[in-house]
Amino acid sequence: MKLLIVGPQAAGKGTQAKLISEKYDIPHISTGDMFRSAAEQGTEAGLKAKEEYWGQGKLVPDEVTNQLLYDRIQQDDCKNGFVLDGFPRNIPQAEYLDGITSIDKVISLELSDEEAIKRISGRRTCKGCSEIYNITSNPPKQENICDKCDNELYQRDDDKPDAVKLRLQTYHDQTEPILEHYKDKVVKVDASKSIEEVSEAVFKELN
């Protein structure tokens, strides 16, 4: 089963992809992990991506990302399929993917901008050990203090509402059109519910 999981930030893509991966015994391929492991393995595209782009905080161009994706899905563990998380992020990447394989289903985790902003702006990160909390869904025992190392928690610039709005806009402009591109294969799941409820809805669609 070859799957894509699509949704805005904070919709729970990584969590749901991991649960799908365990249930169906197919690898969860996130773009971030793919970049890191290709660089560790020292492939040509992997080293280029790290040295010239993400290692310097720059966006990896489609051409390099596509090559890494191609290399990754040729690996043995992908023979029964995979779940892609973070790829394709735009129409040109979707068109590239269609040229090298055929996707069975696209899971769209639906979350309003309002809820995404609420979830992300509640995030707090520990200054000491980088543990992540959420003031509503996963608060520390003592307000603003890390349970693990007693250091103070703070809000990362990336988690502030304006930064989140900017990323949501990029999602709407660039990534959302792939749902129209794959329209007959898309299954929509309400991602505002609990992890268990979302996962149950996803499995129901896949079975």
Cβ proximity to Zn ion: between 45 and 146 the closer is 146
Cβ proximity to Zn ion: between 129 and 195 the closer is 129
How far is it, in rounded angstroms, from Cα 173 to Cα 96? Answer: 19
What would the two tokens of residue 50 be?
A: 């790290």
The number of residues in the chain equals: 207
Min dist CB 186 to Zn ion, Å, is 40
How far is it, in rounded angstroms, from Cα 78 to Cα 94? Answer: 18
In the region spanning residues 119 to 138, those forming contacts with Zn ion, defined by CB under 5 A, are 126, 128-129, 131
Catalytic residue among 23, 79, 156, 193: 156
CA dihedral sign of residues 191, 193, 196, 200: negative
Q: Which stretch binds Zn ion (CB under 5 A): 20-28, 76-84, 108-116, 148-156?
A: 148-156
Q: Which stretch binds Zn ion (CB under 5 A): 38-46, 95-103, 142-150, 197-205?
A: 142-150
- Is position 55 an interface residue for Zn ion (rule: CB under 5 A)? no
What would the two tokens of residue 96 be?
A: 């590239």
36 is catalytic: no
Residue of 102, 99, 136 whose CA lies nearest to 119: 136
81: phi > 0 → left, psi -120 to 50 → alpha, else beta; which? left
- Using CB under 5 A as the binding criterion, the count of chain residues that bind Zn ion stands at 8
**Residues at the interface with Zn ion (CB under 5 A):** 126, 128-129, 131, 146, 148-149, 151
